[in-house]
Amino acid sequence: MNTTRQGAAVDARGIGVEGPRGWAFRGIDISAEPGALIAVQGSSGSGRTCLLLALTGRMRITEGEATVAGLPLPKRIGTVRGRTAIAHVPGVVELEPALTVGEHLKEQALLGHRFQGLGASLPWGRRQKEATRARVDAALAAVRLDPASLVKGLRTAVRDLERIEALRLSVALGIMHGPQLLAVDDVDLKLSAAERAEAWQLLRDVTRTGITVVAAGSEAPADAVLVRTTPAPATADTTAATAAEATATKATATKAPAAQAPATKAPANDGSGADSGDDTPTDTDTDEKEAADAFAETGRA
């Protein structure tokens, strides 16, 4: 595993991704140095996964500006994709339950040689096999996954791994070829408090090799660069001010029809007059409904 390459600095200003079903996320700002741990926090469906894919060049941003390792997105999206990796992203990069730990590691090593243009040299000689073995061992050591601790060693099937062990394997596969940035999804999903702490420590260990890590989870550690895809809860003062403003607006709206009603208004029970205006949606109501529908259709992100 190449740990000499510098991690990727990440800088983003007001980025967003809009698709045919609406906005996956928007208005995201990030400023992180190389080798940083970036924690993406937000509720399910708030665009966490899409943000990870956008920062690794797997999804095109449609709003705002961003650079990863000094490369502008989306202009250099292909180069960014080649310098980053993703791990543990359901529906995109997942472990195959029926394959063993060893088979996953061997497959990743083969893919790495193929992408680096070394496929023509197969079958490998002794030196190439040793280099591959060293790369695999380095990746396992970086994530502290000891095959001897597994039920059947490298022949242990993924379906027999504990969740934290599967996470370690996913990260090992992601960093095997030395990316500048690694994106990891659902870091703390279905983990106990102790396992969550263990998972975040695993990612801290990866950053110490020089790789920048951006990870999505429900609870971000205090020492990470925090990015929210869900707006932060309003403070008590803000909530009170908003409620007071809403009350004042409602009171004004209630008085308006009577003041604007013409003197020759027809009887109220004929279905006309100021009362008819109450059934007409305002622009704000329409915007909020469209936004809600867009997010509902976006699905898991």
pLDDT value at position 109? Answer: 85
pLDDT value at position 257? Answer: 46
User: Greater confidence, 195 or 114?
Assistant: 195
Task: Tell me how far apart the alpha carbons of residues 130 and 111 are, in angstroms, rounded to a whole number.
Answer: 16
**DSSP 8-state symbol, 300:** -
Looking at the chain, list the stretches that DSSP marks H as alpha helix, in order from N- to C-terminal side.
48-55, 77-82, 101-115, 126-142, 163-175, 193-207, 236-260, 283-298
Provide the mean pLDDT of the chain.
Answer: 79
Structure tokens at 110: 């083969």
Asked if 220 and 251 count as a contact pair (C-beta separation under 8 A), the reply is no
pLDDT value at position 137? Answer: 92
pLDDT value at position 289? Answer: 46
**DSSP 8-state symbol, 232:** P
pLDDT value at position 5? Answer: 58
User: Greater confidence, 1 or 123?
Assistant: 123
Q: Is the pLDDT of residue 195 over 90?
A: yes
Q: Kind of pairing, strands 10-19 and 63-68? A: antiparallel
Reported confidence tier of residue 123, pLDDT bands at 50, 70, 90: low
Q: What is the pLDDT of residues 41-83, one digit of tens each?
A: 988 788 999 999 999 999 999 999 999 999 999 999 999 999 9
Give just the sign of the alpha carbon dihedral 31, 34, 36, 38. Answer: positive
Reported confidence tier of residue 101, pLDDT bands at 50, 70, 90: very high
pLDDT value at position 91? Answer: 81
pLDDT value at position 14? Answer: 97
Mean pLDDT value of segment 230-252:
47
